[in-house]
């Protein structure tokens, strides 16, 4: 037995359905290192898979829980105690109230959530000791006199994720969402600008879930990302603000409107949808529909018609049928992306999707990925070509590959190259575009543009 192995004891009451469910729970927990054991005595996790069909079922569960509580105490509190099945469904709140030793209660429809719930319990127990403390320490330790590499810099504002998409390891590996406070972010932004940074890209695994504390003088409450951006936009010398990566569930109106009223916020948004089928979005636990996503994008484009939208996609998620994949293709047609990343679904042990039935065969994933990428490449090329003839403000970031040429970024984050002198590095200049490929647009210098007021 290796160090990662944990012991699982499931006591099953009642019908065949419960026996079957207990087997499913074992399957779901196996990737987390749980092996079944014959007795509760030395188990790391005890689950009572209960049955409601006979009278007094609830009382039996409570008396069993009383005994398990003693075992839990003997383990120094390490043993996790869960109640599942029909009693859990019917009496969930009562169980939690009457027996505080119980760590988790979940009904028969929620077994796939066991890994997530166990992760949450561990995190809640360790909150101040490990996860949050570590994150805070890490943020605190970020030096204000950071080395800067060119006029564009990343600034970390948020860490971790509580979304538990069923394919993703981040909530298990990176822990709970945590936002840096406003003061620390502003101080770091000012320090970066002082060193010549003109563009800041606010970073976070779930950046638009940002909810950092504001300074007492500013009211001391917690700020949204929209409010933080508007505040950062007041910094003289900072000309461009971006943020990544966002989740559709956290795209509130205030943030959407910031694209219309905050000139320094660039007209570019990376908003992963992963899939275009509502059935797959549900199985992924994304918490929104394709229609909601389209609504967000439509609203953004109403406010800022030139918005460049990018996304991430996963093809071949377990259970993805041909028609589900076609929904993804239709969604891509509907949105018309400026760029996107796309991946074949890859099983990550310990995540709920890893144990879902109907994993999609590799060759089907390959075929779908090729079709999706062909469409995305076409859209990306078209987006780049649509800039030809336009004059865009470009932030000069450094030398380009070709001799005599400099590289830069358009407001839409496109890579551009054009002839100009090296000392324009760090300036925003007007470039008239005259060529485009899949990965870049080329142009020639029009005139120098002074920083946005
Ligand atoms: N398989 C394939 N792609 C994944 N991603 C995250 N987890 C998986 C997985 N198990 C992709 C998602 C996410 C991006 C950062 O990585 O598309 O948005
Ligand atoms: Fe969180 Fe993104 Fe992973 Fe979903 S895909 S769990 S939102 S990090």
Structure tokens at 255: 């943030």
Residues 107 and 148 in one domain: no
Side-chain-facing half-sphere of 182: CA atoms under 13 Å = 22
Residues 410 and 367 in one domain: no
CA 143 to chain centre: 26
pLDDT at 8 (0 to 100)? 95
Ligand 1 within 6 A of 318 CB?
no
Q: What is the dihedral of CA 21, 24, 30, 35, to 10 degrees?
A: 40
Q: What is the dihedral of CA 218, 263, 304, 380, to 10 degrees?
A: -120
Q: How far is the CA of 37 from the centre of ligand 2 (A)?
A: 33
Whichever domain contains 405, its CATH number is: 2.40.50
What is the residue whose two structure tokens read 């800022």? 304
Residues 169 and 281 in one domain: yes
Report the number of distinct structural domains present in the chain.
Answer: 3
Alpha-carbon span 160 to 271, nearest angstrom? 17
Residues 257 and 347 in one domain: yes
Residues 318 and 174 in one domain: yes
Last residue of a domain, one of 345, 365, 385: 385
Q: How far is the CA of 163 from the centre of ligand 1 (A)?
A: 13
Query: Is residue 151 domain-resident?
Result: yes
- Tell which residue, 199, 181, 197, has the closest CA to residue 142: 181
Query: Is residue 21 domain-resident?
Result: yes
pLDDT in tens, the chain (453 residues): 444 689 999 999 877 777 778 887 887 888 778 899 999 999 999 999 987 766 567 788 899 999 999 999 999 888 999 999 888 877 888 888 889 899 999 887 677 778 888 888 877 765 322 223 344 444 554 445 566 778 999 898 998 888 999 999 888 777 788 999 999 999 999 999 999 999 999 988 899 999 999 987 777 789 999 999 999 999 999 999 999 999 999 999 999 999 999 999 999 999 999 999 999 999 999 999 999 999 999 999 999 999 999 999 999 999 999 999 999 999 999 999 999 999 999 888 788 998 888 999 999 999 999 999 999 999 999 999 999 999 999 999 999 988 899 999 999 999 999 999 999 999 999 999 999 999 999 999 996 544 443
Residues 131 and 218 in one domain: no
- Tell which residue, 141, 36, 54, 111, has the closest CA to residue 356: 111
Residues in CB range of 183: below 8 A, 6 or more apart: 214, 215
Ligand 1 within 6 A of 206 CB?
no
Strand duo 308-315 + 339-344: pairing:
parallel
Residues in CB range of 220: below 8 A, 6 or more apart: 213, 214
Last residue of a domain, one of 96, 116, 135: 135
Structure tokens at 424: 């324009």
Ligand 2 within 6 A of 240 CB?
no
Tell which atom from ligand 2 comes closest to the C-alpha of 164. 6
Whichever domain contains 14, its CATH number is: 3.40.50.12160
Domain hosting 400: range is 391-445
Assign 33 to helix, strand or coil.
coil
Q: Which of 312, 317, 337 to mutate to test the pocket of ligand 1 (most atoms within 8 A of CB)?
A: 312
Whichever domain contains 216, its CATH number is: 3.80.30.20
Residues 353 and 434 in one domain: no
Give the closest ligand to the alpha carbon of residue 174. Answer: 2
Residues 250 and 350 in one domain: yes
Ligand 1 within 6 A of 301 CB?
no
């Amino acid at each position: 037995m290796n160090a990662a192995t944990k012991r699982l004891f499931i006591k099953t009451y009642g019908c065949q359905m419960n026996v079957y469910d207990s087997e499913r729970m074992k399957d779901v927990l196996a990737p987390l290192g749980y092996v079944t054991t014959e007795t509760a005595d030395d188990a790391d996790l005890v689950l009572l898979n209960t049955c409601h069909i006979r009278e007094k079922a609830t009382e039996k569960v409570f008396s069993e829980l009383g005994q398990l509580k003693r075992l839990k105490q003997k383990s120094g509190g390490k043993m996790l105690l869960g109640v599942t099945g029909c009693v859990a469904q019917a009496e969930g709140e009562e169980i939690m109230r009457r027996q505080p030793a119980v760590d988790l209660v979940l009904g028969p429809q929620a077994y796939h959530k066991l890994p997530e719930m166990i992760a949450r319990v561990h995190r809640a127990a360790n909150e101040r000791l490990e996860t949050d403390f570590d994150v805070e320490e890490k943020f605190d330790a970020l030096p204000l006199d950071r080395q800067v590499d060119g006029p564009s810099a990343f600034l970390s504002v948020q860490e971790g994720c509580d979304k538990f998409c069923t394919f993703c390891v981040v909530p298990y590996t990176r822990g709970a969402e945590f936002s840096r406070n406003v003061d620390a972010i502003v101080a770091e932004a000012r320090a970066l600008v002082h060193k010549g940074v003109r563009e800041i890209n606010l970073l976070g695994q779930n950046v638009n879930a940002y909810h950092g504390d504001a300074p007492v003088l500013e009211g001391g409450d917690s700020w949204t990302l929209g409010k933080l951006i508007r505040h950062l936009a007041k910094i003289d010398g900072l000309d461009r603000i971006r943020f990544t990566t966002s989740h559709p569930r956290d795209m509130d109106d205030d943030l959407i409107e910031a694209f219309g009223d905050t000139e320094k916020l660039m007209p570019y948004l990376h908003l992963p949808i992963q899939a275009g089928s509502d059935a797959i979005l549900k199985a992924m636990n994304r918490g929104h529909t394709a229609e909601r996503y389209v609504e967000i994008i439509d609203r953004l484009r109403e406010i800022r018609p030139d918005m460049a939208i990018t996304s991430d996609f996963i093809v071949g998620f377990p259970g993805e049928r041909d028609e589900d994949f076609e929904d993804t293709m239709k969604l891509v047609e509907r949105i018309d992306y400026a760029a996107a990343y796309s991946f074949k679904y890859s099983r990550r042990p310990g995540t709920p999707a890893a144990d879902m039935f109907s994993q999609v065969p590799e060759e089907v994933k390959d075929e779908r990925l090729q079709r999706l990428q062909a469409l995305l490449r076409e859209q990306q090329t078209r987006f780049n070509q649509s800039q030809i003839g336009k004059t865009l403000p470009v932030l000069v970031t450094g030398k380009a590959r070709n001799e005599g040429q400099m590289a830069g970024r358009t407001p839409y984050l496109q890579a551009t190259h054009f002839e100009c002198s090296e000392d324009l590095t760090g300036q925003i200049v007007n470039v008239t575009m005259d060529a485009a490929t899949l990965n870049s647009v080329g142009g020639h210098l029009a005139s120098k543009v002074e920083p946005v007021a």
